[in-house]
Structure 1
């Protein structure tokens, strides 16, 4: 098996504004695992909040390259155990895990969905993200969009903005990226109209969720608070829903375990994404049949997508039906 990797730049179609800052591009690391004539792809991106240093990932890959390349082709869940033993950052672990699933499926001539016997019919629609901005411009974007579901970013709570969004009578979620106060959260979960939002994502900074009450009107969804399998039990009294992102969970292999446990604990589940190319989005799309919500618009936000695979068009998730994760480079 051969390991290759390359740093890339994802350029956004328009400035992406969230509570954490404004972005015109994202740095990405593309990973390729190849064997015989098959190539599998995975990806991770640099996110400021998670203090991701892709240069350190490159150094780590050079350090472990020989250990990876000497491995025989085994089942991805067994290969993941080897990856896990290398003490990798979850983002890098995810890129390698996804690349190997893609490669293994291509070698077996079976899709990830076939290999794991996952549902794939009647997939839920993905939302598209509306950046932080003037509320009237946000409303205008929603009204002009051909998508049906929206995740509106906000920085702090403005009750008049809440009213304007609810008046649209559209499928809208709120994501404050941890910018709500305790008082904001109490007002939201005690306000009956708030149940008309499909969910309210990561209202408070990480580990500051104890003001939340899952029995209130707000469908609180954990993002940064829900990093991995171990966090699920502790969040039960506070969150109704969780956002599983492959990069923060460490890839498809642990994400499958998270979905299983989250279902046992009666969470609603979203498969989410960062700003990613079709490499990352293809992996997320493969889990769409297992979840209640999808936010897989990452590749739709960039202008220089370098891959083909599973994709999202006006919210509809379209599976390639090709082996592995169906990924090929343009």
Structure 2
């Protein structure tokens, strides 16, 4: 097996504004695992509020390259156990895990869905993100969009804006990226109108969720609070829903485990994404038959997608039916 990797840059179609800041581009690290003329791909991106340093990831890959290349082709879940012994950041672990699933499927001539016997029909539609801006501009984007589901970014609570969004009679979620105060959360929890929002994502900064009441009117969804399998038991009294992102939890292998446990605990589940190319989005798409919500618009927000595979078109998940994760570089 051969390992290659390359730093890339993703350019956003327009400035992406969230509570953490404004972004015109994202740096990405593309990972390639190859064997017998088959190539598998994985990806991770530099997110500043996660303190991701891709240069450190490159150094780590150089350090472990010999160990990875010495590995024989084994089942992906066994390969993941090997990766766990390499002391990798979850973002980098995810890139390698996804690349190996893509490679293994191509070698076996089976898709990830076939390998794991997953459902692939009647897939939930993805939302598209409406970044922070004047409420009239946000509403204009929603009304002109060909998508059916929307995630509206906000910074803090503006009750007038909330009322305007609720009047639209659209499928809308709110994502404050941890910018709500305790008082804001109480207002949401006591206002029965907020049940019209499909979910309210990451209202408070990490580990500040004690104010949240799971049984209130608000469908609170954990994003940054929900990093891995261990988070699920801790959050059960506060959140109805969780956002699983492959980079947060370490890839497809742990995501499958998280979904299984989250179902046992009666969470609603979303597969989400960062700003990613079709490499990362293709991996997320294969899990959409297992979840309640989908937010995989990352590749739709960039202007220089360097891959093809599974994709999202006007919210609809289109599976390529190709082996592995179906990823091909342009």
TM-score norm. by structure 2 comes to 1.00
Supply the distance in 2 between the matched residues of 1:224 and 1:77 (Cα, whole angstroms). 25
1:6 aligns with 2:40: no
Question: Equivalents in 1 of 2:170, 2:136: separation in Å?
Answer: 15
Shift of 1:155: 0.3
Q: Deviations over 1:127-147 (max 9, x none)?
A: 000000000000000000000
Q: Secondary structure at the match of 1:163?
A: helix
Tell me the equivalent position of 2:246: 246
SS of the residue aligned with 2:12? Answer: strand
Query: Which residue of the partner structure matches residue 42 of structure 2?
Result: 42
Cα offset, 1:88, TM superposition = 0.0
Matched residue of 2:324: which SS?
Answer: coil
1:200 aligns with 2:200: yes
The residue matched to 1:23 in structure 2 has which SS? strand
> What is residue 124 of structure 1 aligned with on the other side?
124
- Separation in 2, partners of 1:92, 1:219: 31
Cα deviations across residues 301-327 of structure 1 (Å, max 9, x unaligned)? 000000000000000000000000000
Note the C-alpha offset of 1:163: 0.3
Cα deviation digits, residues 278-310 of structure 1 (max 9, x gap): 000000000000000000000000000000000
Identify the residue that residue 299 of structure 1 maps to in structure 2: 299
Offset at residue 2 of structure 1 (A): 0.2
User: CA shift at 1:28, angstroms?
Assistant: 0.1
Inter-partner Cα distance in structure 2 for 1:209 and 1:162 = 21
Residue 106 of structure 1: aligned partner: 106
Structure 2 gaps, min length 5: none
RMSD between aligned residues: 0.2
SS of residue in 1 equivalent to 2:87: coil
Which residue does 2:209 correspond to in 1? 209
Question: Secondary structure at 2:17's aligned position in 1?
Answer: strand
Report the secondary structure of 2:7's partner residue.
strand
Q: List, as ranges, runs of 4+ consecutive aligned residues in structure 1 with deviation greater than 3 Å.
A: none
Secondary structure in 2 matching 1:24? strand
The Cα shift of 1:179 comes to 0.1
Partner in structure 1 of residue 271 of structure 2:
271
> Is 1:133 aligned to residue 140 of structure 2?
no
Supply the distance in 2 between the matched residues of 1:258 and 1:189 (Cα, whole angstroms): 27
CA distance in 1, matches of 2:149, 2:323: 29
Aligned counterparts, 1:12-91, within 5 A? 12-91=12-91
Q: Equivalent residue for 2:165?
A: 165
Structure 1 counterpart of 2:228: 228
SS of residue paired to 2:230: helix
Q: Which structure 1 residue ranges, 5 or more long, are not aligned? A: none
- Count of matched residue positions in the alignment of Structure 1 and Structure 2: 330
Please report how far the alpha carbon of residue 51 of structure 1 lies from its aligned counterpart in structure 2 after TM superposition: 0.2
Instruction: Indicate the residue corresponding to 1:321 in structure 2.
Output: 321
C-alpha distance in structure 2 between counterparts of 1:215 and 1:241, whole Å: 12
Give the corresponding residue for 1:95.
95
Q: Tell me the residue number matched to 2:176.
A: 176
- In the TM superposition, what whole-angstrom CA distance separates every residue of 1:240-290 from its partner, at most 9, and x where no partner exists? 000000000000000000000000000000000000000000000000000
Q: Distance in 1 between matches of 2:292 and 2:270?
A: 6
SS at match of 1:317: strand
